Amino acid sequence: MDDILIASNDIAVVNTFKTFTDHRFKVKDLESLKYFFGLEVARNSSSIYQRKYVLEILSDAGFIGYKPVKTLMEQHLKLSWVDDPLLEDPKSDRRLVGRLIYLTITWPDFTFAIHTLSQFMDSP
């Protein structure tokens, strides 16, 4: 058994492709995508996002219950290596940043902030 994901912003294209493949192969249409590569995929009319993955990250980092902010990073924030204390648990913090980098696949607005942070992993 092989799986295929068909995605387009044009439903006519999707339907044409589904009809084409259905005539040539035994196809089972699972309708809406719920999981892809082990990630829950939630979507609205304009985007796809990873709600379950985000909640898992927040829970693991101890941030459940915090209030959201409108900006991901302070404007004109200056990060430096000078006089910053070393991380208490660098392995855990690196894992968190790695998970956040993976999250940028579906949240490109997040990319600049997380890549800026990742440059200071010894002393963020």
Question: Is residue 113 situated within a structural domain?
Answer: yes
Residues of the chain with pLDDT under 70: 1, 38, 45-48, 81-87, 122-124
Output the pLDDT for position 123. 58
Look at residue 12 in the predicted model and tell me its pLDDT. 95
Residue-level pLDDT at 58: 92
Residue 97 lies in a domain: yes
Task: For residue 105, tell me if it sits in a domain.
Answer: yes
| Number of domains the chain contains | 1
The boundaries of the domain holding residue 96 are 53-118
pLDDT of 8: 84
Give the pLDDT of residue 38.
66
Residue 94's contacts (CB-CB under 8 Å, 6 or more residues apart) are 121
Question: Is 4 part of any domain?
Answer: no
- Its pTM stands at 0.64
- Residue 50's CB is within 10 A of a number of other CB atoms, namely 19
Report residue 52 CA to chain centroid gap.
Answer: 10
